[in-house]
Amino acid sequence: MSAKDESYKHKKVISIGTVSEITGLTERQIRYYEERKLIFPERTQKGTRKYSFNDIEQLMEIVEKMEDGVQTFEIRQEMLKKEKKIDEKKIRDEMIRGQLNARFGVHKSP
């Protein structure tokens, strides 16, 4: 997948009504997952929620897990663990880049 493909997936441009139509979830269900901190829509100046394609994919994963009997609390804990691993990897990568730069004068960034 190219960076261009990935960039459009992150844009928060989709209304809650459209997300509801795409996912089959009610608007109330979607707001509930936001309340449980499982999805994070942006808000316009007037307070309208805007979602991305990544948010829609996340919602579908949430629904699938809930159908398998996983609770929202457990889903949130899993998300936090995944975020922590990503943060740790970024820190580790930055340390390695710093060591390479110090040792060999390598200035390559990701």
| Residue 51: strand pairing partners | 14
CATH for 1-70, among 1.10.1660.10, 3.30.460.80, 1.10.540.10, 3.30.70.270?
Answer: 1.10.1660.10
Q: Tens digit of pLDDT per residue, the chain (110 long)?
A: 555 556 888 999 999 999 999 999 999 999 999 999 999 999 999 999 999 999 999 999 999 999 999 999 999 999 888 888 777 778 888 888 888 777 777 655 55
Other Cβ atoms less than 10 A from the Cβ of 87: the count is 10
Q: Where are the domains of the chain?
A: 1-70, 71-110
pLDDT at 99: 80
Could you tell me the pTM of the whole model? 0.68
Q: Helix (H, G, I), strand (E, B), or coil: what is residue 2?
A: coil
Tokens 């390479």 found at: 100
User: Which distant-in-sequence residues (6+ apart) come within 8 Å of 104 by Cβ?
Assistant: none
pLDDT at 32: 96
pLDDT at 25: 96
pLDDT at 91: 83
Q: DSSP states of 5-51 as a string?
A: HHHHHH---EEHHHHHHHH---HHHHHHHHHTTS---EE-TT--EEE
User: Which distant-in-sequence residues (6+ apart) come within 8 Å of 102 by Cβ?
Assistant: none
CA distance 5 to 97: 27
pLDDT at 104: 76
